[in-house]
Amino acid sequence: MTKKDVKNALNEFGLDLVNQLKKKKNPSFNVPTRTLSNVFFDEKSKTLKLGKKESARTFFNIGQAKKFLQTVEVAAVTKNLIDIDKNSSLRDVYYQVKRTIPGTKIELVEEQTETDKAIEDLEVITGFSREQLHVSANKNGSVAGNVVIEDKGDVIDWGKLGSGGWSIPSIVEAIQFKKVKADYVLYMEKAAVWERLHEDRFWAKNNCIIMSSQGQTTRGIRRLLQRLADEHKLPIYVLTDYDPWGFYIYSVVKYGSIALAHASERLTIPSVRFLGITAEDIEKYDLKKHFIKLKDTDIARIKQVSQYDWFKDNQAWQNQFKKMKQFGAKAEIQALSSRGISFISEKYLPEKIKKKDFLD
Amino acid sequence: MAEKTRAHELAERQREISVSEFFAKNRHLLGFDSPKKALMMAVKEAVDNSLDATVEAKVLPDIYVELQQVGEERFKVIVEDNGPGIIKKQVPNIFGKLLYGSKFHVLKQSMGQQGIGISAVLLYGQLTTGKGMHITSRISDKYPTNYFEVQMNTQKNEPVIAQEKIVEWNKSHGTRIEVELKGSYQKGRQSVDEYIKQIALINPHAKITYKTPDKQTIVYVRGVEQLPIEPKEIKPHPYGVELGVLIRMLQSTHSSTLAGFLQNDFSRISSQLSQQICTEAKLSPRAKPATIARDEAEALFNIIQKTKIIAPPTDCLSPIDEDALIKGLKKEVDAEFYCATTRPPSVYRGNPFSIQVGICYGGSLDKEESIRLMRFANRVPLLYQQGACAINEAILDIDWKSYGLNQSRGNLPSGPAVVVVHMASVWVPFTSESKEAIAHYDEIIKEIKLALQYCGRQLASYIRKNVKAREQRDRVNLFERYIPELANSLSLLSGEKKDVIEKNLNEVLEKGMKGLMAEIHEDENSEIKGKNVEFAEKQITLDEIN
């Protein structure tokens, strides 16, 4: 794959539409449907994959014209980015496309989610990733550990970056690992917990890498985790809140997500394990007094997640969902702090990891 | 002598409460629940009287309404008409005595019904300001103009004349009232402003000049120059009379025999039928009506209900004709389509009634909001208690989607439309004394629905022909705007010249214009599917995910 291939793919997308026009056809292109109904769980690779359902997007169709135009506009923007060899953020792309259509009161795009979607569409149309289209997301997440990398000529030691650690960029393809000295990677959804562990030098004492996001796991984090798992054979352990949303964070890292099923190959890590917080932890570490009552949306989400193909027949996970419903409650990772500020780094994590107390 | 019991003590305290006192304590029953509503009611009662009086006197109404704010929550209401005026000795009774009126004892389509209205305004004004009502009235230029200040003795329900004199007036006939009361002036759907706008709409033969508390003068000009047909008085139909009323009628009739009473005091009872009813009720046709006992009256009542009696005459009604209704709508609502219908008279419980419906659509009306429903009974706007009204029920009972409006379950339809429903009847069955909602009789709801559906069909046909065509033009127009944008980006992407692409796009548009309509619905499905992907609370923003 070269830059030229990406450019050619975009160019062909345009030429195909022009050829349709020359044949006096209503220009149209197909986009694979990226919804739950067109995503299946591939038992062999243990990842989510996109099905074969496609929907047509046609220009002379009042309900589709705007989306059609958005997609072509975004394609033109990315082609230009590649031409001038610059990266642009999702937000930049939005502003490059955003304008009022002359003679009307119609905004070509109203929300950034519309251009974001158009970029995802382009990924599936061209077969190239967002990063290859020179579009990046905001950086999100921090990492610390006994690791040295090289990024665009700078040599960076993940262990010597003060209290903030290294912020994970949206595109991690070009990073080279110079030295990786760790037994495993601990990935957590809470930045506050990461800060606690970093302050306690958890990664140095336990010879590991600690990584966090704030909420959902971004592509950059997923790709970085995958590279550490693939290239350095490191086990990855996931630590989330005790709620269906936390479980889903683990699910996305392990199996992939519905919206990005087309990119599963580059992002999913079938070997990751769920470290906590589990229903058993709640009982063992006496966290019930920090329970938060489940809301209706939580209960609906439990039902949804528990019925996903990849959880449906997993007894251990069904047990977790069942228990949560019985408790009628959820809990945050920080509930562990009630046992002492460094309880998590001195007792909970070492104990769990030593006993290999994980869910698969 | 027996010891004084508790019952004796109570008896000493029990005394007759006069009607006026009762209403003084229960003003909400007459609609004076809040200062805002009281102000509206005062204007309403006075204007209703003026419109009734002018039509009776066969004069085209010219009515002046003025509101003056005289204190923080105090207003002076002035209403002046060019009606027939009131003879001197009647003035105090009409304004200063509750339940005194010409309308309660006969059945005739009129705005007022119970004779409570204007005297209730006087009573309310007196209760809240201590002042009486000032009345100026003249019956002809051959007579002097009388001026009164009238108050009410609430215990006796008697008028008290506080002042009386002869004054100069530049009118040859008419009546002017001035009353001060506690009120609150607000704009909106239930305001005086709205009431006057609606009354002008439904009475297009009236000219109304309205001076607001902000000293703005609004003139509602006439839409038609003909007076509506004057409604006729009719005797009650036997089916419409309740037992209590029947007993009262028996007591007060001038007829000397029961058969004569039935024949003379009711409509649609022939001498043969009156004999038959008496026989079946096992009563003597020659019995004196006043001697009929309660259980005998009940037997009579039951037989009447079982006897087949032809429907009452319906020529007593004065429905608004379609043309006048459309003219009324045109002068008060800026729309592009107007239609109206008048249903033939029908009968509920022995009372004749007729429904008129008008619909206007498009123009300056709001596309996104609920339709605007205006309810009227005997040419009086009903601004309150829409939800309790039979008209509301009839509207909700219709599937408006088939008439080109949007509607979600259990709600008023939405779209750029105003719907006017008018019920004309000798006796409008209100749900309460404040006369704000029409009671739910099946016959009435059925007639309203038929009228609405008739107008609905006309509306649907208009929308089909004009609105859809315009929407399609809009679509083509929209594509024309999109084309240069697409040509530009497609040119950048493909390397083809922009004008070549633009030319081709225009050709495809022209060729495909006919097929456009067919494609419109296709996309909806994929849109809905797209929403299935659910992330919720924890997501940062969509761009950051995964």
Note the pLDDT tens digit of each residue in A185-224: 999 999 999 999 999 999 999 999 999 987 778 899 999 9
From CA B338, how far away is CA B341, in angstroms rounded?
11
First to last CA, chain B: 100
Confidence of residue A257 (pLDDT cuts 50, 70, 90): confident
pLDDT interval class at B515 (50, 70, 90): low
Section B44-63 average pLDDT: 91
Q: How many CB atoms lie within 10 A of CB B14?
A: 9
Residues paired with B71 in a beta bridge: B74
Residue A76 phi, psi (nearest 5): -65, -40
Annotation says A285 is catalytic: no
On the 0-12 / 13-18 / 19+ scale of CB atoms within 10 A, A163 is exposed
Span B94-122, average pLDDT: 67
Residues of B in contact with A117 (CB under 8 A): 542
Nearest CA-CA distance, residue B498 and chain A, Å: 11
Q: Could you identify the residue written with the tokens 């994590």?
A: A349
User: Given a cut of 70, is residue B361 above it in pLDDT?
Assistant: yes
How far apart CA A78 and CA B199 sit, in angstroms, is: 63
Calculate mean pLDDT across residues A300-325: 93
Strands B417-425 and B372-377: parallel
Residues of chain A contacting residue B522, judged by C-beta atoms under 8 Å apart: 61, 63
Long-range contacts (CB closer than 8 Å, 24 or more residues apart) made by B166-172 = B167/B136, B169/B136, B169/B138, B169/B145, B171/B82, B171/B138, B171/B145, B172/B138, B172/B140, B172/B141
- Asked whether the beta carbons of residue A73 and residue B489 sit closer than 8 angstroms, the reply is yes
Question: Which of A183-187, B364-368, B530-534 has the highest average model confidence (pLDDT)?
Answer: A183-187
Helices A65-84 and A90-97: crossing angle, nearest 10°?
120
Is residue B17 predicted with pLDDT exceeding 90?
no
CB distance B428 to B438 below 8 Å: yes
Chain B interface, mutation test: which of A61, A167, A295, most B Cβ atoms within 10 Å?
A61
Q: Tell me if A255 sits within 8 A of A222, measured CB to CB.
A: no
Using pLDDT thresholds of 50, 70 and 90, give the confidence band for residue B100.
low
Does B521 score more than 70 pLDDT?
no
pLDDT bin (cut points 50, 70, 90) of residue B533 is very low
From the list A35, A75, A249, which residue is nearest B532 (CB)? A35
What's the token pair of residue A291? 């329970």
Quote the pLDDT of residue B531: 30
pLDDT of amino acid B540: 29
Pairing, β B174-182 against β B133-138: antiparallel
Average pLDDT over residues A37-56: 87
The domain defined by A3-136 folds into Arc Repressor Mutant, subunit A (1.10.10)
Asked if pLDDT for residue B106 goes beyond 60, the answer is: no
Please state which of the ranges A16-25, A147-156, B100-109, B237-246 shows the lowest mean pLDDT. B100-109
User: Do you find a cis peptide bond into A277, omega within 30 degrees of 0?
Assistant: yes
From the list B509, B529, B544, which residue is nearest A216 (CB)?
Answer: B544
Task: Say how far residue A308 (Cα) sits from the centre of its chain.
Answer: 18
Instruction: Confirm or reject contact between A146 and chain B (CB < 8 A).
Output: no
Q: B238-306: which CATH topology?
A: Helicase, Ruva Protein; domain 3 (1.10.8)
Contact partners, residue A79, CB within 8 Å, separation at least 6? A7, A10, A11, B492, B493
For chain B, residues classed under CATH 3.30.230.10 are 317-521
Whether B234 contacts B108, CB under 8 Å: yes
CATH classification number, A142-354, choose in 3.40.50.970, 3.10.450.50, 3.40.1360.10, 3.30.750.24:
3.40.1360.10
Does residue B354 or residue B408 have the better pLDDT? B354
pLDDT at A77: 95
User: Which residue reads 């047509």 in tokens?
Assistant: A56
**Model pLDDT for residues B451-499, shown as the tens digit of each residue:** 999 999 999 999 888 877 777 777 788 888 999 999 999 999 999 999 9
Task: Give the pair of three-digit tokens for residue B77.
Answer: 């209401």
For chain B, what is the mean pLDDT? Answer: 85
pLDDT at A53 > cutoff 70: yes
Are β-strands B351-361 and B380-382 bridged in parallel, bridged antiparallel, or unpaired? unpaired
Res. B436: pLDDT tops 90: no
Q: What is the pLDDT of residue B314?
A: 77
Return the bridge partners of A135, or none.
Answer: A88
pTM for the structure as a whole: 0.56
List residues bridging with B337 in a β-sheet: B361
Cα distance between residue A344 and residue A350, in whole Å: 8
CB interface of A with B, residues 230-259, below 8 Å = 245, 249, 252, 257-259
Q: Which CATH class is domain B19-220?
A: alpha beta
| Stated length of chain A | 360
The CA distance from B443 to B439, in Å, is 11
The whole-angstrom separation of Cα A68 and Cα A28 is: 8
**CA–centroid distance for A327 within its chain:** 29
The mean pLDDT value of chain A amounts to: 91
d(CA B427, CA B234): 11
How far is B175 from B63, CA to CA, in rounded Å?
10
Contact of A174 with chain B, judged by CB distance below 8 Å, is answered with no
CA distances from B11 to B1, B8, B20, B21, B25 (A): 17, 5, 22, 19, 21
Q: Which residue has the tokens 């609905």?
A: B456
Q: What is the mean pLDDT of residues B250-273?
A: 90
Q: Which helix (H) or strand (E) holds A292?
A: strand A292-293
φ, ψ at B148 (rounded to 5°): -130, 150
Q: How confident is the model at residue B542, as a pLDDT?
A: 31
Q: Which amino acid is at B17?
A: I
Query: What's the pLDDT at B523?
Result: 34
**Exposure class string for A138-155: b at 16+ Cβ within 10 A, else e:** bbbbbbbbbbbbeeeeee
The type of residue at A295 is K
Cβ-based burial of B382 (10 A; exposed 0-12, middle 13-18, buried ≥19)? buried
pLDDT value at B52 more than 70: yes
Mutate to test the interface with B, among A60, A104, A114, A241 (most CBs of B within 10 A): A60
For the structural domain made of B317-521, what CATH number should be given? 3.30.230.10
**B63 or A136, higher pLDDT:** B63
Q: How far apart are CA A191 and CA B253, in angstroms?
A: 93
pLDDT at res. B544: 32
Residue B369 is which amino acid? E
Do the first three CATH levels of A3-136 and A142-354 match, i.e. the same topology?
no
Active-site annotation holder among A94, A95, A187, A237 = A95
Q: Spell out the residues 6+ positions from residue A195 whose beta carbon is closer than 8 angstroms to its own.
A: A163
Six-digit token string for A183: 């037994």
The domain ranges of chain A are: 3-136, 142-354
